[in-house]
Amino acid sequence: MIPSVAVLVAASFLSPRQVRRVALFVFLVSITLILVALLYGHEIKGSRRWIFGIQPSEFLKPAFVILVAWAFSEVGKRRDVPANLLAILLLGVTIVPLILQPDFGQTMLVSLVWMALLFMAGLHWLWVAGLGGAGFGGALLAYKLVPHVRARVLKFIDPGAGGGIADTFQVDTALDCFLSGGWFGKGPGEGTVKRILPDAHTDFIFAVTGEEFGVLACVLIASIFAFIVLRGLFMAARNEDPFCRFAAAGLVMLFGIQSAINMAVNINLIPAKGMTLPFISYGGSSLISLALAIGFLIAVLRKRPGAAILTDARVEAFA
């Protein structure tokens, strides 16, 4: 907790230029560590995501959002910079190592945020259609070539596929948690179904919350998260600096989409995938990564009186 608070506070005092530099450094280090994990990391549940007790892909996400926001903010501003191409290359450099781990949940998350920023950038519809088609093709390819992806999709569509109820034990148990807790829950620490729920402290913490604090508490959490996202998008839209606007919107959408995926998995709206719930799930890498993202968000949205004075001085100089 203390390292996360320190990271959040330190990042919140950065200037937009410093945010970009820190993000570039974090991005390069994260990519390097992901590649090291692929070669030397321990395999856990069929994936190589950890190295030295760290999950580098968590830190990759906020850094990726900042760099993509930087690229899209240059569209139409500097003709000498191939901003569109840089944004596409950034996506490729990011998702290829994630797919190799494999980590399709994080791949989907960063791709959705990237596409949202692409839409915000107002690029030609041919770009959107082409990249959307490529994304659909990639998802279809993963379904065809990766056995556990195909198995999860088939089990979601037909719970009886591949062996019956035992194959959907995790999701079924999560739903039992909500039923056990009812509207008001059993009380903190009083949950019983959670004891047999795999990943109860991480991916399925939302179901545990439902059992111990009730469905109403879950609705309240979802409402708070929705308010944070909507408020963040509103503040981003009002920002006059293109980079800060894209960065703030991207970071807020990263938070919102990740939260939505986790909650949707817990209530069986989408196939299961490893995704933590921000602020609530246990995990050092996830918590510090979230703190870095929130610190970046505060940094790009913070009003700077000195910058306003400097801008006014420049206007007067040209008047």
Torsion of CA 91, 93, 96, 97, to 10 degrees: -130
Q: Cis peptide leading into 102, omega within 30 of 0?
A: yes
pLDDT score of 182: 85
- As a whole number of angstroms, the distance between CA 50 and CA 61 comes to 15
pTM of the model: 0.83
pLDDT score of 316: 46
Tokens of 29: 């280090």
pLDDT band at residue 60 under the 50/70/90 scheme: very high
Contact indicator for 209, 221 with CB cutoff of 8 Å: yes
* Nearest alpha carbon to residue 300 among 230, 233, 254, 239: 239
Give the contacts of 57 (CB within 8 A, at least 6 positions apart).
30, 34, 49, 98, 101, 103, 106
Q: Is 282 left (phi over 0), alpha (psi -120 to 50) or beta?
A: beta
- As a whole number of angstroms, the distance between CA 148 and CA 150 comes to 5
* Nearest alpha carbon to residue 209 among 185, 226, 193, 227: 185
pLDDT average, residue stretch 301-307: 68
* Nearest alpha carbon to residue 36 among 160, 80, 28: 28
Of 290 and 307, the structure prediction assigns the larger pLDDT to 290
pLDDT average, residue stretch 179-202: 83
- As a whole number of angstroms, the distance between CA 211 and CA 204 comes to 11
Of 315 and 77, the structure prediction assigns the larger pLDDT to 77
Given CA atoms 153, 155, 157, 163 in this order, what sign does their dihedral have? Answer: positive
pLDDT band at residue 315 under the 50/70/90 scheme: very low
pLDDT average, residue stretch 213-220: 92
Structure confidence by residue, pLDDT tens digits, 109-126: 998 899 888 888 776 667
Alpha helical stretches, state H, the chain = 2-12, 16-40, 56-73, 83-100, 104-120, 125-145, 147-157, 169-181, 205-213, 215-238, 242-266, 284-301, 305-318
